[in-house]
Amino acid sequence: MAGLARRLEALERTIQPAAEPSLDYYDASIVAWDELLQTMSPEHVEIIRDDLMTDGHAALDWHGHLTATRQALHLTRIMSHMTFLRARGQYRARYALPAAIAEVYLDHPEATPLHACWECGLYIPIRPGLTQPYRPVIKFFDSCPECGGRVAYGHPQERIESPRTRD
């Protein structure tokens, strides 16, 4: 038992408590929300605002989750995730949520931004498929609804040279 106590004391000396969220993060979140709202249609902005005001959703916690007693609309959750990544400097795509894409998130709660436009960098939603039970993939856009560019899996900035092709 004494050995366990010594190991726990050593562990407690090396582990530091998690840092408290800084006000800079909250400020960055507010700026990111405002930036994204500027790219949206007025109708979708109103839908988001109504959703956030219902049951007191109007806050992101440190982990980027909306605080509420019910689940937010899929569009609101997508927007909060984009904002969370942007506030932490981790959003690498074009930061916009145009009307055509917002409409997909409203109509299809399983839509996920797994594709991207290889011209303008906008993330494009699809509904992933399943093998068991079989459910096909649904591609909502054959080309980018904003610029008409090629839509494909992933993101152009994420292309990494394969180890097999390196010399």
Give the per-residue pLDDT at 167: 40
Q: What angle do CA 47, 52, 57 make, to 5 degrees?
A: 160
CA atoms within 13 A on the CB side of 65: 6
User: Does 156 sit behind a cis peptide bond, omega within 30 degrees of 0 on the bond before it?
Assistant: no
| Low-confidence residues in the chain, pLDDT < 50 | 159-167
CA–CA separation, 156 and 91 (whole Å): 13
Give the per-residue pLDDT at 112: 93
The per-residue DSSP string of 19-84 comes to PPPPHHHHHHHHHHHHHHHHTS-HHHHHHHHHHHHGGG---B-TTSPBP-SSPPPHHHHHHHHHHH
Give the per-residue pLDDT at 100: 96
Give the per-residue pLDDT at 96: 94
Spell out the residues 6+ positions from residue 125 whose beta carbon is closer than 8 angstroms to its own: 101, 104, 105, 108, 111, 112, 113, 114, 115, 140
Contact present, 147 and 117 (Cβ < 8 Å): yes
CA–CA separation, 45 and 61 (whole Å): 21
Give the per-residue pLDDT at 166: 40
This model's pTM is above 0.85: no
Burial class (CB in 10 A: 0-12, 13-18, 19+), 105: buried
Give the per-residue pLDDT at 145: 94
Give the per-residue pLDDT at 15: 79
Give the per-residue pLDDT at 34: 94
Name residue, tokens 């930061």: 95
DSSP three-state, residue 112: strand
